């Protein structure tokens, strides 16, 4: 995962982590582990994030596949 790009996109959105956690249906601790690359995001979670932030396919690939 490209953490700097992920963090940049989250920062630009202005959405609070609590809102993102609620949308993903995971705990804040799980989100932290995923955000820091300790545990990968699932495909379902990546899809939720894509829709939530209106990311393009190329943006999703840059974030999750780089």
pLDDT of residue 66: 74
DSSP for residue 40: P
**pLDDT per residue of the chain (66 residues) written in tens, 0 to 9:** 999 999 999 999 999 999 999 999 999 999 999 999 999 999 999 999 999 999 999 999 999 997
Alpha-carbon gap, residue 61 to 17, rounded angstroms: 22
Counted domains in the chain = 1
For residue 52, what are the domain limits? 3-64
pLDDT of residue 58: 95
For the domain that residue 24 is a member of, what is the CATH number? 1.10.260
């Amino acid at each position: 995962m490209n953490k700097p790009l992920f963090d940049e996109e989250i920062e630009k959105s202005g959405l609070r982590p609590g809102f993102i956690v609620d949308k993903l249906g995971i705990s804040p601790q799980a989100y932290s582990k995923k955000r820091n690359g300790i545990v990968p995001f699932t495909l379902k979670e990546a899809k939720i994030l894509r829709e939530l932030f209106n990311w393009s396919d190329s943006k999703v690939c840059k974030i999750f596949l780089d």
